[in-house]
């Protein structure tokens, strides 16, 4: 089977894999994502995960299982990426306020010994409370939204911001570990 390699520098994905008691190494993917595409499709998000994993294949010792992942926040079938700046983060959270959106993570696992590629996606739904400008500014000043799709991390949201969610919480954080373990055959 070989070692498991996470093709990501995301601290949230690293923590989720540690919590699942997986032994793994990290090799951040050099793949450059296409941020111009705003229309959501499962094919697109899964292809990002595959491309991230493929970019690590030449950097890994054989045999290995390489995990690539990409998480997006989707509102009205439009991808809300990581914010460009504070104003963009404010506008994104204002847009999510009082609404339900999807969080989708594409996952790819490449077996470098067989060249087999497994890919899948996990979808969760998050409903925000109606947020005031003061709440949004408080979040932006006290937390770190700039490296997160949709400008927020559910794991750090104060009480009164999230009304509800359905689906995998791990997926919303950045990686559906249950789905990944199935893909790994564990």
Residue-wise pLDDT for 10-46, tens only, equals 999 999 999 999 999 999 999 998 777 789 999 999 9
Report the percent of the chain where pLDDT is more than 70: 99
pLDDT reported for residue 33: 83
Q: Work out the mean pLDDT of the chain and round it to a whole number.
A: 95
pLDDT reported for residue 1: 60
Look at residues 72, 75, 76 and name the one whose alpha carbon lies nearest to residue 103. 72
Confidence of residue 186 (pLDDT cuts 50, 70, 90): confident
- Catalytic annotation, residues: 70
Average of per-residue pLDDT across 91-108: 98
With the C-alpha atoms ordered 154, 91, 133, 125, is the resulting torsion angle positive or negative? negative
Look at residues 48, 148, 52, 137 and name the one whose alpha carbon lies nearest to residue 103. 148
21, two tokens? 């008691």
The strand pairing partners of 106, in sequence order, are 70, 121
What is the pTM assigned to this prediction?
Answer: 0.94
Report the percent of the chain where pLDDT is more than 90: 89
């Amino acid at each position: 089977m070989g070692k498991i390699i996470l093709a990501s520098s995301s601290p949230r994905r690293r923590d989720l894999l540690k919590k699942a008691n997986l032994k793994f190494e990290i090799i951040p993917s050099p793949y450059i994502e296409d941020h111009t595409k705003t229309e959501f499709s499962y094919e697109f998000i899964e292809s990002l995960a595959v491309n991230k994993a493929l970019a690590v294949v030449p950097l890994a010792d054989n045999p290995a299982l390489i995990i690539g992942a990409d998480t997006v926040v989707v509102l009205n079938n439009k991808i809300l990426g990581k914010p460009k700046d504070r104003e963009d983060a404010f506008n994104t959270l204002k847009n999510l306020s009082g609404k339900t959106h999807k969080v989708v993570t594409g996952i790819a696992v490449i077996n470098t010994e067989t060249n087999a590629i497994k890919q899948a996606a996990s979808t969760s739904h998050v409903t925000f409370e109606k947020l005031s400008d003061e709440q949004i500014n408080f979040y932006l000043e006290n937390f770190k939204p700039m490296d997160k799709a949709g400008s927020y991390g559910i794991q750090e949201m104060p009480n009164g911001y999230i009304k509800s969610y359905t689906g995998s919480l791990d997926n919303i954080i950045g990686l559906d570990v249950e789905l990944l373990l199935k893909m790994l055959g564990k």
